[in-house]
Structure 1
Amino acid sequence: MTAERPVLPYLMIAPSLLLALAIVVWPIVELSEIASHSVNRFGQLRDFVGLANFEALWNDPNFIASLWRTLVWTVCVVGGALLTAIPVSLVLNEDFYGRGLARVLVMLPWAVSLTMTAIVWRWALSGESGMLNSALMGLGIIGTNIQWLADASTAFPMQIFIAIIVTVPFTVTILLGGLSAIPDDLYEAAALEGAGRWTMFRTITLPLLKPFLNIAMILNTIYVFNSFPIIWATTQGGPANSTDILVTYLYKMGFRLGKLGEASAVSLVMFAILLVFTLIYVRLSMRREA
């Protein structure tokens, strides 16, 4: 009986492990093979080239620019979504008249297709007849139309703004789950001790909400880092590749230029970045809890 006990847990996780190997490991092996060969436009492997595809990426200024832009994109969207979602979730966790309707309105952007949301924003940001220009001119803030998506100095910040809006509902959902798990007795005891709202938030809410913040940060980072529709539906990485992030750069490299070897190399670089981030963040989180 004792000899069989260590084997049982492995048998129970074996189906999930095999599924993970099929979904994750097998594509990585295939990508590694493609990235180490020269590939024609029909996906047929030719000569073994080793790290030549990675060297070509390193020597491509558009790849380096897309890499840094992806890091800025991810940090700004994930950070902005968390900073926005925390106060929103605190408000929605309160008991007030119309809370159900308010929650529905906050969650609504999450229910709409991300591509459709990006297309609507592209119309709203049109430099000639866009809703944003019309509203700003009506308020007397601007005197002439602004070409929001024709210049990277305005296009990329607006794309970050759109991404924050569509990321907030998912983040609020996670944080509301964490807030509902905090016992009311803790707040009642703190109130009896004379603690104010800010003190209760800093000493009770935030520490107990930290595991949910960690989950939201990791999931949003993976999701935002690979997010394709917003950039592509609004500018397709333009003008002049100035709003490209790694995922749109990969798409252009693979499907427009037909450089499947270099596109596979980009996929492996993206996977490595996310893997390193996740491992480091989980390790730091576990060290703090210990």
Structure 2
Amino acid sequence: MTAPPAATPPATPESAVTGTRRPRGRPGRWSALGRALPWLTPALLLIAGVVLFPAGYMAWTSVRDLSQFGMDNGPAGLDNYARLLEFGALPRVLLNTVVWVFGVVVTTVLISLGLAQFLDKAFPGRRIVRLAVIIPWAASVVMTTTVFYYGMDPFYGVINTFLVDVGLLDQPYGFTRNALPAFLTAMGIAVFVSLPFTTYTLLAGLQTITLDVREAAQMDGAGPWAAYRQIILPLLRPALAVATIINIINVFNSLPILQVMTGSIPGYSADTTTTLIFKFIRADRQIDTASALSVLNFVIVLGVILVYLKVVKPMRED
């Protein structure tokens, strides 16, 4: 019998001989980016057209000398910023802005934490209550503010009349005619229209916390408040960060509420930086100074958000 042929040893790959590695089949970073670019292009174009170009044009306008009719008279350097810093009402406006943003955002978040905790419980009619919470968010901000504005009118406002009828006021009060009450009323309206988004964001965060985590806290002997403070609240940190940051941006740049409630009050005692920009453009025709204030506004908002992220660290793992 003839002996079977010896098995042929497998060929040694060239990479084993030379000591070099053959590139694997995984696509490189640039290849992946090339495949993703067609899908990202529409979003990138939208960001460039809606965000980057207006921001760049605003910064360019802030260093130009523009007439009241919009004629460009050439570069102005930092003169617009110097004129802005010399504006006498600027300290009061900056203080109003701090009170406006801090007061509205903190109040909104605190109330929303309670509402989200309530809506996370099972009770009869919960779906209807959840839908009712959305109504202030679905309605137009200008329409909602206008309803409150006329409701608080000292002569024919139903809210003023109600306060007199129940004995809280001796006579109708001009909430919309005086700077401080109009400003505080605007803050209340801002909280009212900000609650739905913030509540639903926190509710979504609550529903990601499993029942096992809550039961484990109860088995460890933690009371309701201790469990909420030590377990639930830390797990809510990402949702809380999203709600807070978006509220800061929205409230800081909010114009309709303040314009409706305080726009007829003379002077700058009830203005924030956003409404002051509007007055610079509409009343004074100072487009270049308004652009300088817009740049300052942008820097302040960005700084506040960066400080918040640095302090809170919402994505930190404990």
Please, what TM-score do these two structures have when normalized by structure 2? 0.85
Say if 2:183 and 2:262, in contact at 8 Å, map to a contact too. no
Corresponding residue number in structure 2 for 1:114: 141
Unaligned 5+ runs, structure 2: 1-22
Hey, what's the Cα distance between the residues in 1 that align with 2:118 and 2:157? Answer: 32
Please, what TM-score do these two structures have when normalized by structure 1? 0.93
Read off the aligned partner of 1:27 and give its amino acid letter. Answer: P
Paired residues, what number? 290
Say if 2:108 and 2:198, in contact at 8 Å, map to a contact too. yes
Corresponding residue number in structure 1 for 2:17: none
SS at match of 1:104: helix
Greater per-residue helix proportion: 1
Corresponding residue number in structure 1 for 2:200: 173
Hey, what's the Cα distance between the residues in 2 that align with 1:287 and 1:167? Answer: 21
Cα deviation code 1:95-119 (max 9, x no counterpart):
0001011111111111100000000
How far off is 1:43 after superposition?
2.1
How far off is 1:136 after superposition?
1.7
Say if 1:237 and 1:243, in contact at 8 Å, map to a contact too. no
Say if 1:150 and 1:239, in contact at 8 Å, map to a contact too. no
1:27 to 51, 54, 66: 54
Hey, what's the Cα distance between the residues in 2 that align with 1:221 and 1:287? Answer: 16
Corresponding residue number in structure 1 for 2:28: 5
1:232 to 247, 255, 259: 259
Q: After superposition, where does 1:59-78 map in structure 2 within 5 Å?
A: 59-78=86-105
Is 240-249 or 68-77 further displaced after alignment?
A: 240-249
Cα deviation code 1:54-106 (max 9, x no counterpart):
11111112233222211110000000000110001100110000101111111
Corresponding residue number in structure 2 for 1:209: 236
Cα deviation code 1:220-270 (max 9, x no counterpart):
000000001111112216242221111111111112221110111111111
- Is the alpha carbon distance of 1:50 and 1:237 closer, same or farther for their aligned partners in structure 2, counting shifts above 3 Å? farther
Is 89-98 or 186-195 further displaced after alignment?
A: 186-195
Corresponding residue number in structure 1 for 2:176: 149
Say if 1:231 and 1:237, in contact at 8 Å, map to a contact too. no
- Is the alpha carbon distance of 1:65 and 1:237 closer, same or farther for their aligned partners in structure 2, counting shifts above 3 Å? farther
1:275 aligns with 2:302: yes
Corresponding residue number in structure 2 for 1:133: 160
Hey, what's the Cα distance between the residues in 1 that align with 2:156 and 2:256? Answer: 23
Is 277-286 or 93-102 further displaced after alignment?
A: 277-286
Read off the aligned partner of 1:279 and give its amino acid letter. Answer: L
How far off is 1:205 after superposition?
1.0
Structure with higher Rg: it is: 2
RMSD over equivalenced CA pairs, Å: 2.0
Hey, what's the Cα distance between the residues in 1 that align with 2:74 and 2:154? Answer: 48
1:260 to 287, 295, 312: 287
Is 186-195 or 85-94 further displaced after alignment?
A: 186-195
Corresponding residue number in structure 2 for 1:245: 272
Corresponding residue number in structure 2 for 1:194: 221
SS at match of 2:313: helix
Is 36-45 or 222-231 further displaced after alignment?
A: 36-45
- Is the alpha carbon distance of 1:56 and 1:10 closer, same or farther for their aligned partners in structure 2, counting shifts above 3 Å? farther
Unaligned 5+ runs, structure 1: none
Say if 1:39 and 1:45, in contact at 8 Å, map to a contact too. yes
Is 123-132 or 206-215 further displaced after alignment?
A: 123-132
Read off the aligned partner of 1:5 and give its amino acid letter. Answer: G
Hey, what's the Cα distance between the residues in 1 that align with 2:182 and 2:45? Answer: 43
